[in-house]
């Protein structure tokens, strides 16, 4: 590994929600529910119900999954599909504003190791990207809060929202990332937190490191090269290895050498 250190990794591509910060339970869920209240919609997602909605990629798509005939009738919504889509877009715009205000208020701290690993990778000359199905404004907000405006501005790529027609678990967003970064897939490591994200990376023929969270810790990550509780920090929360199919041998926190080792075998 040491002899090939400069060529093993050419790019790291991060998912946003659940990877950069634990955003789903403490950010997106309360933002969705506040938006529902503001629009007088007869729904409030519980922690468990939102976990089921997370199987659907994309916030607008999760909101659109509410549109059963009974819900449309109870909420007094139009029956025309185009008008319904416009309503969902309006709800989602408001939800995104609520969420970004929560991020700006410091309510969603970065996950362990994110700021440390991103800073080290940038200083080592690696390309960095984000590939997320969340709204673009929300992704930029959490990225800037997680690593600071200066580090966020140095990212080579941020893909978010409706940049591709098919969202995760389809591979489209990672194929687009490869095209825009102009890198060899063999030198790209994806960091995800969910089965949907792993499937998207795997279908794009990319190796994937998974950092689980409370919503995803029991999902199937058979295709992941390494599964950990978090990236860990030397003076903070340690990383626990859940599954390891790589040459990496991380201690209490993952280093750039561990990430390189995920691509070495």
Q: Which residues are part of the catalytic machinery? A: 15, 17
- Please give the backbone phi and psi of residue 243, each rounded to the nearest 5 degrees, phi first: -155, 140
CA-CA distance, 171 to 175, in Å (whole number)?
Answer: 6
- Enumerate the β-bridge partners of residue 12: 128, 189
């Amino acid at each position: 590994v040491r002899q090939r250190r400069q060529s093993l990794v050419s790019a790291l591509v991060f998912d946003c929600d659940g990877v950069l910060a634990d955003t789903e339970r403490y950010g997106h869920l309360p933002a969705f529910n506040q938006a529902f209240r503001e629009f007088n919609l007869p729904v409030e997602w519980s922690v468990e119900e939102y976990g089921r909605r997370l199987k659907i990629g994309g916030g607008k798509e999760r909101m659109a999954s509410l549109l059963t005939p009974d819900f449309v009738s109870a909420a007094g919504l139009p029956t025309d599909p185009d008008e319904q889509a416009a309503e969902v877009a309006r709800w989602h715009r408001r939800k995104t504003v609520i969420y970004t205000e929560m991020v700006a208020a410091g309510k969603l701290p970065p996950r362990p190791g994110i700021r440390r690993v991103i800073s080290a990778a940038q200083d080592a000359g690696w390309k960095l990207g984000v590939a997320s199905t969340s709204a673009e404004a929300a992704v930029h907000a959490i990225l800037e809060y997680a690593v600071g405006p200066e580090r966020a501005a140095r990212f080579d790529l941020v893909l978010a929202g409706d940049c591709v027609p098919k969202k995760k678990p389809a591979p489209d967003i990672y194929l687009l990332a490869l095209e825009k970064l102009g890198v060899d897939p063999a030198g790209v490591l994806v960091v995800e937190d969910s089965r949907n994200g792993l499937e998207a990376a795997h279908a794009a023929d990319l190796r994937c490191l998974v950092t689980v969270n409370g919503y995803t810790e029991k999902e199937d990550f058979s295709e992941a090269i390494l599964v950990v509780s978090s990236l860990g920090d030397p003076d903070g929360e340690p990383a626990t290895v859940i599954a390891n199919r790589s040459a990496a041998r991380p201690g209490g926190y993952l280093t750039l050498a561990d990430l390189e080792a995920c691509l070495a075998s």
